[in-house]
Amino acid sequence: MAGAALARAAQLWSLLDEMAESDPQAYRRLLRRQRAEAERLCAPPEPHLCLRARPAGVGGGPLFINVCSWKRVPAPEGPTGPTPVSAGPLQEVAGEGDLYSIIDIAYNPDVLQRGEENPEKMEHLIHLTLKFVEERCNLTLSYLYTIESFQLKGSLEMMQQRLKGRQMPAPHLSQNTKKELTLDQLVHTLEAEDCSNVPVLLKEESVTQSKVRLIEEITSTEMPDKLSSPVYEMITVKDANKKPLKIELRIELPKVSSVSECDLRISKDDIIIEVPEKYKLQLDLPELVDEETATAVFNKGKRVLFITLPVAKPDP
């Protein structure tokens, strides 16, 4: 293995020498690009904020979720795209009579920066984080979380070690293809071997569909004084005994081309939908609903938003 790596390094230097003589500008551009990429890949995760949550059930200690910033985690591809996330293992800690658990979650710095600039986005990201931890660790968490005054639970070195412990296999080259590689292929291969502990990236779509996933990107802008109320239809679905089961809401949004334009908020007894500079609708619901299991689907072809609101079960 060491001999093969040395051979590839020698070939790389030979190609670089040729490029430096034949095309100095391309050589400098390549070095700048590779240096920037190396800095990104080798940058360590940094603490951003720490959440304190409590798993449901009797006994056991709290769960601390270290939300970290890591340049190695890619940013979302677009405003409505899934948010890539890297996660370390769930670790139980017992010390000085204290029993608690820790898990480290890392996002691209841009994702966390947008959350700092917009409290609604940060609240959505925290909610998404809690749901992700539930799915990944097979837990049920209370959503009464606390943002701790400190940014990190535990030591910085242990957090970085846990996150960097997730590895992806580096590609292997056969003896037959070794001499036919281009410069870009060689550089990519050597980077993969040097940074083979790139974390496994888990996107939001890889999590089981969250019951509370309504609209991914919520934008908050100032609204004009007068907004039109969209045409809507609300139906209460009942069972054979006339007992209400769910509320179905159909809202026509002809001026909306993407779900990312909408801001949807649901409580137990009302619903609000806002589209900046276009629509605003607030409705009192005829029955108390379970907002945790509400779902929303936007039909781009018909430009209609369909919302299903299960009626809340009475308290025993």
Higher pLDDT, 149 or 214: 149
Residue 214 contacts by C-beta under 8 Å, 6 or more apart in sequence?
Answer: 264, 266, 294, 295, 296
How far apart CA 88 and CA 104 sit, in angstroms, is 5
148, 241: one domain: no
With cut-offs at 50, 70 and 90, classify the pLDDT of residue 201.
very low
- 236 in a structural domain: yes
Residue 252 pLDDT level (bands cut at 50, 70, 90): very high
Kindly calculate the radius of gyration of the chain based on its CA atoms and give it in whole angstroms.
25
Residue 186 lies in a domain: no
| Residue 277 belongs to domain with CATH number | 2.60.40.790
Give me the pLDDT at residue 296, please.
85
The total number of structural domains that make up the chain: 2
- Indicate if 160 and 236 belong to the same structural domain: no
User: Domain of 238?
Assistant: 232-310
Which stretch of 52-61, 130-139, 287-296 has the lowest confidence by average pLDDT? 52-61
| Counts for the chain of helices (H) and strands (E), in that order | 6, 13
Handedness of CA 128, 131, 136, 141 (dihedral sign): positive
Give pTM, 2 decimals. 0.47
CA distance 147 to 123: 11
Question: Per the domain annotation, does 194 fall within a domain?
Answer: no
On whether residue 123 sits in a domain, the answer given is yes
- Has residue 59 got a pLDDT over 50? yes
Instruction: Answer whether residue 57 is part of any domain.
Output: yes
Residues 145, 236, single domain; the answer is no
Asked if 140 and 245 sit in the same domain, the reply is no
Q: Which two tokens stand for residue 89?
A: 């293992």
Largest CA distance in the chain: 85
Residue 255 lies in a domain: yes
Round to whole Å and give the CA distance between 274 and 218. Answer: 10
220 falls within a domain: no
Per-position b or e across 3-25, b if 16+ CB within 10 A of its CB:
eeeeebeeebeebbeebeeeeee
Of the pLDDT bands very low, low, confident and very high (cuts 50, 70, 90), residue 135 is confident
Both 144 and 61 in one domain: the answer is yes
pLDDT band at 307 (very low <50, low <70, confident <90, very high): very high
pLDDT in tens, 217-235: 223 334 344 578 899 999 9
Percent of the chain exceeding pLDDT 90 equals 22
Residue 120 resides in a domain: yes
Q: Other C-beta atoms within 10 Å of 309: how many?
A: 24
The backbone torsions φ and ψ at residue 44, rounded to the nearest 5 degrees and listed phi first, read -80, 155
